[in-house]
Amino acid sequence: MSKIYAGDRLEEGCKELAVMLLGAKHAVVLTGAGMDTESNIPDFRGKNGLWRNYDPRVVADITTFRQNYDLFHEFYRDRFSTMKQVEPHPGHYILADLEQRGLIKAIATQNISGLHAKAGNKKVYELHGNTREIYCNSCGKPATEQELLAKQPCRHCKQYALRPNIVFFGEPLPPVVWDSAIAEIKRSDLLLVIGTSLEVSPVNQLPYLAEGKQVLINNEDRSAGYSFDLVLLGSAGDILQRTVKYLT
Ligand code: APR
C-alpha cells in the first residue's frame, strides 16, 4: 500500500524520501517530461501538455516523418527552438549533486532535452534519444542542426530525410541504452520515478523490474497499477529542494 503525501504533509514525505536515499546502496532515477516543465519545456499529457494541441501519432510518428516531411519539420522546428533556450532548473542540479555524492547511481530519462547531462549528471540513459545528434534517415550519414532547421536535403544522398536522433512512435528504443537502463533498475534497491505519466510503453514497464523500494514524485497521482512505497504529489523541483535539506 503506497504512503501518499501532498499539501501540508509533503514535507513529512520529503523527509521520508531523504531517509530512503541515505539508506540506499544503488538508487536509480527514471524521469519524464514533468522533470523538464520547470525549465519551460511543455510536457505531453499534463494539463498544458503538447498532446492537447497535436496528435502524437501524427507529428511524432515515423510514418509521418516518411510520408509528410513538411509536417514533421514544422512541428520539430518549434520544439528545437524551445529546447535551444532552456537551462536546467534547481531540481536538475540537485540530481547531479546526488550523483556526485553517490546517493544516486544513474538516471534513465524519456526526455530528449539533454538537461540532466547539462546539469552535470554523468550516467544518463536517454531512452528516447536526444536532439544533439542529427542524421539522414535515408543514408544514415551525419548532418548538422543548421541543415535540419533549414530543411536542406542530405548533402550525401540528396534526400529530404534529415532528423534528430530521437525515437519516434513506431520505432524501437536504442537497444544498448535500453538494456543498460534495465540492468540498472533491476540492480536498484531504490527507484525514484519523477515527472512521468507512465503512459508510454515500454518505459512504463520499467518500474515492475525494480525489486527494491519505489518512490513516485509527480504533480498528479499516476501510481495506479504500480507498487510505489511512497508517492509525493507536487512539483519535482520543490520536492527535490525540500528533500535535499534532510540529506546532510
Ligand atoms: N513536477 C512534477 N510532475 C509534473 C511537473 C512538475 N513540475 N510537470 C508535469 N508533471 C507531470 C504531469 O502531470 C504528468 O503526469 O509529469 C507527467 C508528464 O507526463 P507526460 O507528459 O506523459 O510525459 P512523459 O511521461 O515523459 O511521456 C512519455 O511520451 O509522447 C511521448 O516521447 C514522448 O517521452 C515522451 C513519452
Q: Any idea what the CATH number is for the domain that residue 195 is in?
A: 3.40.50.1220
Q: Which atom of ligand 1 is nearest to the CA of 222?
A: 15
Regarding whether 180 and 71 lie in a shared domain, the answer is: no
> Which helix (H) or strand (E) element contains residue 162?
strand 162-166
Instruction: Clarify whether residues 9 and 99 are in a common domain.
Output: yes
525549465: which residue's cell?
Answer: 39
The 3-state DSSP composition of the chain as helix, strand, coil percent (nearest 5) reads 40, 20, 40
Atom number in ligand 1 closest to CA 112:
34
Do 77 and 106 lie in a common domain?
A: no
Residues 76 and 97 in one domain: no
pLDDT of residue 12 exceeding 90: yes
Instruction: Label residue 56 by pLDDT band (50, 70, 90).
Output: confident
71 & 31 share domain:
no
- Report the 10 Å Cβ neighbour count for 202: 11
How does strand 129-136 pair with strand 124-126?
unpaired
**Tens digits of residue pLDDT in 206-217:** 999 999 999 999
How far is Cα 132 from Cα 157, in angstroms, rounded to an integer? 21
Whether residues 8 and 121 fall in one domain: yes
Nearest residue by C-alpha to atom 7 in ligand 1: 235
**pLDDT, mean of residues 91-112:** 98
* Ligand 1 nearest atom to the CA of residue 217, by list position: 2
Of all protein residues, whose CA lies closest to atom 8 belonging to ligand 1? 34
CB 15 within 8 A of CB 230: no
Is it the case that residue 24 has pLDDT exceeding 90? yes
Residues 66 and 146 in one domain: yes
Mutate to test the pocket of ligand 1, among 219, 226, 235 (most ligand atoms within 8 A of CB): 219
Whether residues 238 and 146 fall in one domain: no
Q: Is 224 found in the same domain as 143?
A: no
Give the count of domains, the chain: 2
Rounded to the nearest whole angstrom, what is the distance from the C-alpha of residue 26 to the centroid of ligand 1? 24
Q: Which range, of 13-27, 41-55, 86-100, averages the lowest pLDDT?
A: 41-55
Task: Locate the ligand 1 atom nearest the alpha carbon of residue 44 and give its number.
Answer: 21
153-161 average pLDDT score = 97
What percentage of the chain exceeds 90 in pLDDT?
A: 88
* Choice between 55 and 23, residue whose per-residue pLDDT is larger: 23
226, amino acid identity = Y
Average pLDDT over residues 152-158: 98
**What is the Cα–Cα distance from 248 to 243, expressed in whole angstroms?**
10
The pLDDT of residue 1 is above 80 = no
For ligand 1, atom 28, which residue shows the shortest CA distance?
A: 200
Segment 47-61 shows an average pLDDT of 87
Predicted TM-score of the model (pTM): 0.97
Please tell me the distance from the alpha carbon of residue 99 to that of residue 106, in angstroms, as a whole number.
7
Instruction: State the distance from the centre of ligand 1 to the C-alpha of 33, rounded, in angstroms.
Output: 4
Distance 154 CA to ligand 1 centre (A): 33
Which of 27-36, 76-85, 86-95, 143-152 bottoms out in mean pLDDT, i.e. has the lowest?
76-85
pLDDT-derived band at 96, boundaries 50, 70, 90? very high
**65 and 144 within one domain:** yes
Distance CA 231, CA 7 (A): 12
Last residue of a domain, one of 110, 138, 166: 166
Question: 26: which residues sit within 8 A by CB, 6+ positions away?
Answer: 105, 184, 187, 188, 189, 190, 212
Q: Cβ distance 20 to 183 under 8 Å?
A: no
List the catalytic residues: 128
Ligand 1 pocket at CB < 6 A: 32-34, 37-38, 43-46, 49, 56, 110, 128, 195-197, 199-200, 218-220, 222, 235-236
Q: Give the distance (Å) from ligand 1 centre to CA of residue 141.
A: 32
Average pLDDT of the residues of the chain: 95
Residues 151 and 248 reside in one and the same domain: no
- Which atom number of ligand 1 is nearest to the Cα of residue 111? 34
Q: What is the pLDDT of residue 174?
A: 97
Domain that holds residue 159: 44-85+130-166
Q: What is the 179 CA–ligand 1 centroid distance (Å)?
A: 22
Task: Say yes or no: 96 and 32 in one domain.
Answer: yes
Neighbours of 219 (CB within 10 A): 19
| β-bridge partners, 5 | 232
Q: How many helices (H) and strands (E) does the chain have?
A: 9, 10
Read off the pLDDT of residues 161-220 as tens digits, 9 standing for 90 and up.
Answer: 999 999 999 999 999 999 999 999 999 999 999 999 999 999 999 999 999 999 999 999
User: Could you please report the per-residue DSSP string of 28-51?
Assistant: EEEE-GGGTGGGT---SSSTT-GG
Identify the residue with better confidence: 183 or 52: 183
Query: Is the pLDDT reported for residue 248 higher than 90?
Result: no
Q: State residue 63's pLDDT score.
A: 92
Q: If you measure from the C-alpha of residue 128 to the centroid of ligand 1, how many angstroms do you get, rounded to a whole number?
A: 13
Q: Quick one: which of 95, 137, 139 has its CA closest to 119? A: 95
The CATH number that applies at residue 81 is 3.30.1600.10
Strands 142-143 and 129-136: antiparallel
